[in-house]
Amino acid sequence: MERLQKIITTEDIPAEYQDTPIGLLLEYHNLARPLDHYTKAQLLIGMCMDHRKHLLIPDNFAYIIRAGGANLRYSEFKVSYAIAVGEVSSIALIGHTNCGMVNVMAKRDAFINGLVERAGWDREWAEQHFTHFSTMYEIGNEIDFVLSESKRLRLRYPKIQVAPLLYRVEDNRLYLISEE
């Protein structure tokens, strides 16, 4: 976890994020900045669908796309929409600790059995479903994935500021991920 940068004061926010929507996100969530009023989204937040994460941000502050592992590869049209029509200039990509998309292959039996028992699927169909999609959604290590996805998004949208972050479910705080 030495690649994580704690944000416990405004001085901990790097200069590149000061006075930007990313800096505001960190101030709202980690530093209890009073919530401002917004009528228009300031940024796009890409984060995992996991139920253990809740951001402390004002209403109307951000578009939020929730996808397993904070994987935005299959939400690209939504990302483009937030930028082109929503006019956001920043993306906060937020992975989290203990993500279920890490080592998803080890969850194969639970996944298949869950679809059969809870959803009424045929076992063969559940197996094919897992085999077809699991490799698309496996993210490996949370930090490494957020860094690679941030790099991909920067290449795709070169004028957009993209910040790689990690939400620690252990303390409900956001951390910047060092890219060095």
What CATH number is given to the structural domain containing 18? Answer: 3.40.1050.10
**Are 114 and 64 in the same domain?**
no
pLDDT, residue 100, reads 87
**Averaged over 160-179, what is the pLDDT?**
96
Number of domains into which the chain is organized: 2
- Please provide the average confidence, as pLDDT, over all residues in the chain: 95
pLDDT, residue 58, reads 98
Q: Is the pLDDT of residue 156 over 70?
A: yes
Handedness of CA 113, 115, 120, 122 (dihedral sign): negative
pLDDT, residue 140, reads 84
**Are 82 and 156 in the same domain?**
yes
**Are 127 and 77 in the same domain?**
no
**Are 14 and 67 in the same domain?**
yes
Predicted TM-score (pTM) of the model is 0.92
pLDDT tens-digit profile of 81-139?
999 999 999 999 999 998 889 889 999 999 999 999 999 999 999 999 999 999 888 88
Q: Is the pLDDT of residue 1 over 70?
A: no
DSSP conformation class of 18: T
What is the share, in percent, of the chain residues with pLDDT greater than 70?
Answer: 99
Instruction: Show the tokens assigned to 8.
Output: 């416990």
Report d(CA 118, CA 30) in Å as an integer: 38
Tell which residue, 16, 162, 146, 159, has the closest CA to residue 84: 159
Q: Is the pLDDT of residue 164 over 80?
A: yes
Residues 6+ apart with CB under 8 A from 36: 24, 58, 61
- Which is higher by pLDDT, 3 or 1? 3
Highest mean pLDDT among 1-15, 41-55, 81-95: 81-95
pLDDT, residue 59, reads 97
Residues 6+ apart with CB under 8 A from 166: 4, 94, 95, 96, 97, 142, 143, 146, 174, 175, 177
Q: Is the pLDDT of residue 11 over 80?
A: yes
What is the residue range of 55's domain?
4-100+141-177
Phi and psi (nearest 5°) for 85?
A: -95, -40
